[in-house]
Structure 1
């Protein structure tokens, strides 16, 4: 009848119209796998910032629940009676220990992988249940006034969100590790409002490289996180400090000495934390009792020095603004050192990043005050020494001088401090490295790698990275089938195989363009008519360096992996996975 059309023809015409848009998007926008990776990195940054903000709100809620006050933790400790100063941190330790014990029972058979382990020596998979319960335990430790930083669980949660996102999208191990690294960068950026430093924290400390293949996504994620925090809160730069000015080149001499001091002090600080951890372990008391004891020790110290409670942020602000008497600071610094060792040694979940800034600022201020008393022109501003000391101590503790320099600049926005900061950081870094072979982070990673050697995933051959079951069609497939496949998967090349999976060639998205204007001709075409037999291909036992040659000179994102004996299609190799694996391999020790 007139007006009645073949349903198959109508379907083909609809597919062709959709396919025209697909080809137009590919030709005009040309989205590559790297661009898609940056998009996912931005999303990981956004989600990571939200989780960090939620953790901060919950921490304040726990603090108010345990103390009945909404003031800062230091101010609260000043106002509490002596018995409450001891009881509140001890209660926080009890709740944290009970949560960790519950987590251990509920997570039997599930590892306690943290974000550093997942990125550096793992597959990027972070267990959900154990991570959430450990973060919940950190809420009680931090909210009750433990001398520990909140950046650790904030970064863990952000990395967990990124890991869940990558697993949902079924990312390959190299891509998943990179996405988890992006989540960690977003956590640091959210905690300190320092996106550049957040990127370099992960690049220097965990990945060990600042190659653009990894640094680019890290920067995008950190920027997305910082923007999210600034939109949802009134966050500005973290530390408001007076203006600093370098009046004479002679002022650089005390900073040289300060670099040696901070570089010597940081290793002793890290050793004391490890020694405290061993002392708590040899007591053989249950983990819950250790956390309670650690909380009681912190509370006992806080009776006389309430400044030890929390991560030390408010006291650092007072130091940088010259609101602390140097004689009182000596006692506060020693008390903070003991309190941090008590919290860390007892197993309280949290970080020592911000306490390290406290130690560096205190040592720097005391040194600046001493120099000023004997040589006023050499250190006219002790607060400047405190600021530089923060960066130097962080550099010596983390073995990441570039990150420390950038972080101090971002947190203060004081450009004039850059010259002494760079000099002091480098001296502190080399001094600490000469006194102690490993930083706090590298020692932890080495220990975990020794405990779980199977977690390390060497990537040396193509077969280690290939993805099985790529999109394929038979050589007799009709145009409509090819069109549906191009519309359902985001690839630019579809592989043509025989019944035995023997590889024949490739149908390119660009090659079907001439048929989009003629549906009648398209209805007659099969895959064998439009496929290209000459196309780059690699074998499963080729090295990664050899595989890279298949991409050179060809604007393609994936190459087929073919069995050289049977010509069977085994899978495909992504350029993104290959480049990430090459970067990771370059950072691995050679024996």
Structure 2
């Protein structure tokens, strides 16, 4: 065994311990802030709110929103809080690198938001915390891209496992959502981190499941058409849920309110809604448990699901910090419970109870939002230990994901966030091309001429260069002017009479394609395909056009092939494959 795996195992243990205690501290911070606003740190915030005067319930989120807005303005001016989309971006495009301080500040902002009662999730900030810790450690140890991504997965796994008391789901979530593929090299350290994070959480909070799952009667085989129908409904609800958040963001932009004031406005809307439906406050674990118990009436379930979607849309759209996991679980449980009441009333002798449908709905909506069907199914199985019910969840999860992908073109809320910013997560090979940079394959020794070079010299250079292409560059400032090929010379290529009358500036192609050194190899290949050029100039920046070298299509393909071989070796756990430096 190579020392790399031993070192990774030890670091995974460190990450698991650090993130586990970080999640504990994060949850304790939420409780402390909540006690300031509502007079109690009880996780059952809806019950706490019912005992308070209506004006208190309405104003607490407003004051909390104002505090969140001021915090972001002072400590994160002009920056959006980091979340799981940024963690995925770091793993897919940045070799596991992400800014540490903004990540930690985002976690603090989320604690302030959740303590104020914002309708957001705490699992997303926990993953951001785990990723920030891992990124800091990888940067300090000067890890390469591959090992940095593995550590990023360790941080995410430990965070999810500590949040849900579900170590298996933490492992699957890290591979499915963050790393993006299942690599044998990453499996052992991710498992170590996930189990360690779970042990820390259990040691502090006790070995209790995240939700109180009631005893489910045996699932009847004749119920599966109903579970399939619930999957369709949950897919549609997931689309409404995600589009609602986008609507909230657009409404915030149209309001032209300063960013620091937006969370307070969201707090006012949330407070007014909480007067009638206090269940919209916070992560929603209490209302999720109640929906799973099968004791809530149909009208309340449907109204509360709609209220929770509105509350989450306003909270996230107007600037509260937090995630989407817990709200999607709550909405799914409410929708599933309502569907279960209807199904049970239609076929009471076949039904396993509305609580079973709430469990299925919880899994279906959250999986469609997260784009993590396998992880979601594993979370449900770890929570219920019910094989029959897990099969029902699998059916609904698959159908819900198909509905969101086919009708909405959305495979994941996190991927959709990145796509709206121009970052598209493709397959594993595409992500490799996006990770590699032009500067990694640049050739600085390209043959260049200055604009005043005579035609005779240009012709001689073209015959000497292997690619029959010259780059015209200003001598004074190194500014790229254009390119010259034999085709660009036209008649001048064979007319000696023009040797002293024409120079490089006269015959060069000034609209020639160029790349920046920081461009991805994906863009390099697309540029070469679009312009049908195999040899392209590289500049430091498009504005300055300072020439730094050139890149050939063959070098791009060779670099991609090497990276692909390394990735395949990593997935197989091949210790003899191409090594990735620490």
- Shared fold (TM-score greater than 0.5)? yes
Q: Which whole-Å CA distance do the structure 2 matches of 1:244 and 1:303 have between them?
A: 33
Q: Which residue of 1 aligns with 2:4?
A: 33
Verify the 8 A CA contact 2:83 2:128 in the aligned structure 1. Answer: no
Q: Which whole-Å CA distance do the structure 2 matches of 1:269 and 1:106 have between them?
A: 27
> Which segment is superposed worse, 204-213 or 98-107?
98-107
Q: How does 1:434-473 map to 2 (within 5 A)?
A: 434-438=406-410, 439-448=412-421, 450=423, 456-458=434-436
Distance 1:232 1:239, change over 3 A: same
RMSD: 3.2
Q: In structure 2, which of residues 154, 157, 171 is the aligned counterpart of residue 182 of structure 1?
A: 154
Distance 1:94 1:249, change over 3 A: same
Q: Which whole-Å CA distance do the structure 2 matches of 1:348 and 1:152 have between them?
A: 13
2:95 is paired with a residue whose SS is coil
Q: In structure 2, which of residues 391, 394, 398 is the aligned counterpart of residue 419 of structure 1?
A: 391
1:558 deviation in Å? 8.3
Q: Which residue of 2 aligns with 1:151?
A: 123
Verify the 8 A CA contact 2:144 2:580 in the aligned structure 1. Answer: no
1:78 deviation in Å? 1.0
Correspondence 1:212 to 2:184? yes
Q: Which residue of 2 aligns with 1:349?
A: 321
Partner deviation per Cα, 1:303-342 (whole Å, 9 max, x = no partner): 1111110111011111111232222222212211111111
1:31 deviation in Å? 4.6
1:196 is paired with a residue whose SS is helix
Partner deviation per Cα, 1:356-379 (whole Å, 9 max, x = no partner): 011111111111100111211232
Verify the 8 A CA contact 1:251 1:378 in the aligned structure 2. Answer: yes
Partner deviation per Cα, 1:94-144 (whole Å, 9 max, x = no partner): 111111111234989x99993222222223233232222222221211001
Q: Show structure 2 runs of 5+ residues with no match.
A: 426-430, 443-557
Distance 1:556 1:112, change over 3 A: closer
Q: How does 1:268-287 map to 2 (within 5 A)?
A: 268-287=240-259
Q: Which residue of 1 aligns with 2:562?
A: 544
Distance 1:178 1:446, change over 3 A: farther
Q: Which whole-Å CA distance do the structure 1 matches of 2:54 and 2:160 have between them?
A: 35
Distance 1:158 1:541, change over 3 A: closer
Q: Which residue of 1 aligns with 2:540?
A: none
1:279 deviation in Å? 0.9
Q: Which residue of 2 aligns with 1:526?
A: none
Q: How does 1:405-554 map to 2 (within 5 A)?
A: 405-438=377-410, 439-448=412-421, 450=423, 456-458=434-436, 543-544=561-562
Q: Which whole-Å CA distance do the structure 2 matches of 1:232 and 1:392 have between them?
A: 30
Correspondence 1:117 to 2:89? yes
Correspondence 1:99 to 2:99? no
Verify the 8 A CA contact 1:340 1:355 in the aligned structure 2. Answer: yes
Q: How does 1:48-59 map to 2 (within 5 A)?
A: 48-59=19-30
Q: Which whole-Å CA distance do the structure 1 matches of 2:438 and 2:563 have between them?
A: 9
Q: Which residue of 1 aligns with 2:579?
A: 574
Distance 1:247 1:548, change over 3 A: closer
2:76 is paired with a residue whose SS is helix
Q: How does 1:217-232 map to 2 (within 5 A)?
A: 217-232=189-204
Partner deviation per Cα, 1:389-409 (whole Å, 9 max, x = no partner): 111112222222111110111
Using structure 2 for the length normalisation, give the TM-score: 0.72
Q: Show structure 1 runs of 5+ residues with no match.
A: 1-29, 465-539, 560-572, 578-591
Correspondence 1:335 to 2:315? no
Distance 1:136 1:548, change over 3 A: closer
Correspondence 1:65 to 2:36? yes
> Which segment is superposed worse, 135-144 or 324-333?
324-333
